[in-house]
């Protein structure tokens, strides 16, 4: 039995993204897909005393967004210092700030990423390591990609020798379940509901923030506030 999930890379994604990674045996980064504007690929939210704040990585866009996520270049390097300043300003009072900052600060201040996808992957891998997530992470470019939205996902699962595909619930709008059924692949819809609240800075609690919020506030205790992470 082997479970696989397939998702585009996101910038410092929320805890549910990492919970999905932890729930499967292989996580395929689906960055051969078209880059989409005003999406999670290059931005996410944090909490501040003034409310929610977007952190957005500026990217170079060619034509009408015809480039893949993998081919999307980062515009300049000033954003990294600005993002780190925002994280420091808004989380320096969090109980685990120093511990988590030691992991994240070098990524921001090293400034050696030219493309979005490798940067997202570095944040993903260092977060997984901190949380104790040992799931194998691969790239869709390592596989042959066939035509058809659902057919491609199912074929990736077959190539990865999966028996079960675990999908985020938003994909219900376009996935044809029959394609998986015809290939004897089990299709499971991941459930993001039911996460417990945790002590959080700045006003009413919200789940819909970057994973860094949970890490700064709960540190090594973060897995207690997720369902599939066991450390």
Per residue in 37-64, pLDDT (tens digit) is: 889 999 999 999 999 999 999 999 876 6
Confidence class of residue 197 from pLDDT cuts 50, 70 and 90? very high
Look up tokens 């540190």; give the residue: 219
Phi and psi, residue 34, nearest 5°: -65, 140
Token pair, residue 190, equals 């991941």
- Taking residue 191's Cβ as centre, other Cβ atoms within 10 Å add up to 12
At residue 231, the pLDDT reads 65
Q: Which residues touch 149 (CB under 8 Å, ≥6 apart)?
A: 174, 175
Burial 48-82 (b: 16+ CB within 10 A, else e): eeeeeeebebebeeeeeeebbbbbbebeeeebbee
Average pLDDT of span 209-215: 98
Q: For the segment 153-194, what is each residue's pLDDT rounded down to a tens digit? A: 999 999 999 999 999 999 999 999 999 999 999 999 999 999
- Taking residue 157's Cβ as centre, other Cβ atoms within 10 Å add up to 27
Confidence class of residue 230 from pLDDT cuts 50, 70 and 90? confident
Query: What is the Cα–Cα distance from 51 to 228, expressed in whole angstroms?
Result: 29
Q: Which residues touch 72 (CB under 8 Å, ≥6 apart)?
A: 35, 41, 42, 59, 60, 61, 115, 116, 117
pTM score of the predicted model: 0.96
Q: For the segment 90-148, what is each residue's pLDDT rounded down to a tens digit? A: 999 999 999 999 999 999 998 788 999 999 999 999 999 999 999 999 999 999 999 99
At residue 65, the pLDDT reads 60
């Amino acid at each position: 039995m082997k479970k696989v999930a397939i998702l585009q890379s996101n910038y410092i994604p929320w805890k549910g993204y990492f919970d999905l990674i932890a729930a499967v045996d292989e996580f395929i980064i689906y960055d051969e897909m078209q880059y989409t504007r005003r999406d999670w690929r290059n931005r996410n939210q944090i909490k501040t005393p003034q409310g929610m704040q977007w952190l957005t990585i500026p990217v170079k866009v060619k034509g009408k967004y015809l480039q893949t996520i993998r081919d999307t270049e980062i515009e300049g390097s000033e954003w990294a210092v600005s993002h780190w300043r925002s994280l420091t300003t808004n989380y320096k009072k969090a109980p685990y700030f120093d511990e988590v900052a030691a992991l994240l600060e070098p990524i921001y201040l090293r400034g050696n990423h030219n493309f979005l996808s490798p940067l997202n992957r570095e944040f993903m891998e260092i977060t997984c390591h901190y949380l104790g997530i040992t799931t194998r992470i691969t790239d869709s470019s390592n596989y042959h990609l066939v035509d058809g939205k659902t057919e491609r996902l199912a074929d990736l699962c077959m190539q990865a020798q999966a028996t079960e595909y675990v999908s985020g619930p938003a994909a219900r709008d376009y996935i044809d379940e029959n394609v998986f059924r015809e290939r004897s692949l089990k299709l499971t819809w991941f459930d993001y509901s039911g996460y417990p609240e945790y002590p959080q800075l700045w006003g009413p609690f919200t789940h819909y923030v970057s994973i860094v919020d949970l890490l700064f506030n709960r540190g090594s205790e973060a897995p207690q506030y997720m369902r599939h992470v066991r450390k």
